[in-house]
Structure 1
Amino acid sequence: MAFWRNRDNLDRYYNLQRNIIKILKFTLVFYVFISCSNESEVKKEISKIPIEIKIERFDTLFAKVTLETLPDLKKEYPFLFPEKYADSIWIKRSQDTIQQEVNIEVEKTFLDLSKEETELYSLFQHIQYYFPEIKTPKIVTIINDVDYRNKIVLSKGLLIIALDTYLGKDHHFYEGIQKYLRQNFERKYMVPDIASMYAKNQVGPIRDRTFIGNLISFGKELYIKDLLLPEFTNARKIGYTEEQYSWAITNEEYIWRYFIDKKLLYSTDSSLMPRFLYPAPFSKFYLEEIDKEAPDRIAQFIGWRIVDSYMKNNNVSLRQLILADAETIFNRSKYKPKK
């Protein structure tokens, strides 16, 4: 009799376990359904936001400027004509042979900007949804002597795009520029670069001098880009090739373990920033087999993963994320790198 009683108890135990598993599965499906439903509602709301997008081609207007048409152009775009320069300087520049060669190459590459207009339309719908205080700017394209440090300028309701910095990484204009910088001189990175400017403005300057503080700040920017560019690949958002992003995903656990083992998180050593956070030929682990393959800015990728984990594991708003300090985000993120 004791045997059958134990067998009955065992059966009841297994039945209970099966029921628990069913409940957990149902709960998981329910939350996935709710999450997808919420995402769908957000998508619908965003799609209804009215936006007016017009890209003004100052670059083509300046290419055709004459002494007679210059006054009207200056009146229309006063912010592009510093008063200290005489009209003769502008005419001379427009007729310069190098300037004319750049004009031809830009016109050839950007004969049509309809794809960028479509992407910008979606971007500014998302900006309006998440940051309704931001107004859609006046968008102007220029040629700016391949000034890659100012590819995008955002200021006082103006968005200025230097088209001559998006002609393609192998364009002969860029022969004297380092390869790791040229990688992002592709037109597919133009809209992500614009989204970066808005994300940076929301996050603000980095005040925490620690490595983790810098890492989290960049992570916030990339998380905001996630929200603003939901249809873009993660590689495109961070400015990686697909191969570089795949390497980062594959080696995430190793990268994180390196940061922990070397006790880098709370270090204020300024040399860590160019090694792991700033544009460079590669991230510098000082390990030959790794440095050959590691893409630059790898700590930005880790910061992105930590911030994403924080948002998934805490019921906080986007504004609360932006205001939260790095230590709070890190401690509450429950971040675990993918193996």
Structure 2
Amino acid sequence: MKFFNYFLLATAFVLVPVSCDNKPENLWQIEIKNPAQKVEVQDLSAEFYNAGVPLAQFQQKYPWFQGTVSDEDFGKRRLDKTEIAIYKEAVDKIGTQKLNNELTTLFSHIKHYFPEFKQPKVFLYSSALQGIMEPIFYHDAENMLFIDISAFLGQNNPNYKGLEQYWQVSMNPQNIIPKVSRVFAGFFLKESFEHQKFLDELIYQGKIMTLQDAFLPGFPDYLKMNYDQKQYEWALANEANVWNYFVENNLVFSDDSRLRERFINPGPFSKFYTEVDNDSSPQIGIFTGWQIARKFFEAKPETKLTDFLEMDSQTIFNESNYKPKN
């Protein structure tokens, strides 16, 4: 596919500016008439690293926090200067009050579309870098949300030395809310891995990203994708060429499970197996599915979000009339 290779190579170095002047009306900018209760996050590590709080008192208050760590090791960690420094840096950077406000807004939007949503208790903690690969955890049985703030110190932070750059792109304080939103999107839309074609995967990811649009109408799109601005601009500039690649290589209706690793899973780039792979944006299949979903809502803006989530992939694809142009 020579043209695709040439175009990708060219746009890898010359990014096309994206104009917002002709942006369609945001369907998800809605008036919240029944907002969520004001969020007040509970900082577990503030108490954990407070020498004035007896260990026994902390353990009694949070019996589920200790896990299998012995009392001796638990006590040593509370006095570890390196851990304390990481925690203090993290909590200073995130801004607790700002986080409270953004979580309240997020939960209000979730509640609008899913009235059955029960607002969780939110706990902050620092794993001292031990749990940064999966920093957001929702325990639905207890309705508790946990946020590991040591995972959001900022890209290129010295504490992240040795960690792959593609992970660090979304390890900034502004990535917390989109990642929390993504966790709840996955809660409301379970994924089936049985007998999937690539189109099914694309549409599933498009549904997840549509939930991100609905939950976070005021957030920049690149943050919803865990991209930086340059990666997002590459995806926009190459949208038609990526789709042409999928079509011309018969990938859209393929059941090759390896396509998930190439175009969906996290990584430094997407894998077209061309000379421009290193310059491409990662997880481009998620971006493509998102654009298909957006085209669907451009054609059928009256569709209820919950109805859209129940629709099959082929119907969404057909009714989107997705045909991106260069």
TM range (shorter): 0.7 to 0.9
Distance 1:292 1:240 in 2: 15
Residue aligning to 1:139? 122
Distance 1:249 1:265 in 2: 19
SS in structure 2 opposite 1:226?
A: helix
Root-mean-square deviation over aligned CA pairs: 2.1
Aligned match for 2:99, one of 98, 116, 120: 116
Distance 1:120 1:338 in 2: 37
- For the pair shown, which has the larger CA radius of gyration, 1 or 2? 1
| % identical aligned pairs | 29
Distance 1:241 1:86 in 2: 41
Residue aligning to 2:5? none
Distance 1:186 1:265 in 2: 34
1:185-225 Cα offsets, whole Å, 9 max, x none, are: 11110000000001111110233521111111111100000
Distance 2:278 2:27 in 1: 40
Distance 2:286 2:48 in 1: 38
1:302 and 1:107, CA in 2 relative to 1: closer, same or farther beyond 3 A? closer
Residue aligning to 2:228? 241
Residue aligning to 2:14? none
**Kept after mapping to 1: 8 A contact 2:189/2:208:** yes
Counterparts of residues 321-332 of structure 1 (less than 5 Å): 321-332=308-319
Residue aligning to 2:40? 54
CA drift of 1:266 comes to 1.5
Segments of structure 2 that go 5 or more residues without pairing to the other structure are 1-23
Q: Which has the higher contact order (CA 8 A, sep 6+)?
A: 2
Say yes or no: does 1:215 pair with 2:199.
Answer: no
1:172 and 1:254, CA in 2 relative to 1: closer, same or farther beyond 3 A? same
1:291 and 1:39, CA in 2 relative to 1: closer, same or farther beyond 3 A? closer
Larger proportion of helix: 1
Distance 1:154 1:57 in 2: 16
**Kept after mapping to 2: 8 A contact 1:202/1:322:** no
1:240 and 1:64, CA in 2 relative to 1: closer, same or farther beyond 3 A? same
Higher deviation after alignment, 227-236 or 324-333: 324-333
Residue aligning to 2:19? none
Higher deviation after alignment, 306-315 or 167-176: 306-315
Aligned match for 1:79, one of 28, 52, 64: 64
Counterparts of residues 169-318 of structure 1 (less than 5 Å): 169-207=155-193, 208-288=195-275, 290-314=276-300, 315-318=302-305
CA drift of 1:267 comes to 1.3
Higher deviation after alignment, 245-254 or 157-166: 245-254
Which amino acid in structure 2 is aligned with residue 117 of structure 1? N
CA drift of 1:106 comes to 2.4
Distance 2:233 2:311 in 1: 30
Residue aligning to 1:130? 113
**Kept after mapping to 2: 8 A contact 1:206/1:214:** no
Residue aligning to 1:103? 87
1:50 and 1:97, CA in 2 relative to 1: closer, same or farther beyond 3 A? closer
SS in structure 1 opposite 2:291?
A: helix
Distance 1:108 1:126 in 2: 27
Segments of structure 1 that go 5 or more residues without pairing to the other structure are 1-34
Aligned length, in residue pairs: 298
Say yes or no: does 1:90 pair with 2:74.
Answer: yes
Q: Given the two structures, how large is their TM-score scaled by the length of structure 2?
A: 0.85
Higher deviation after alignment, 150-159 or 89-98: 89-98
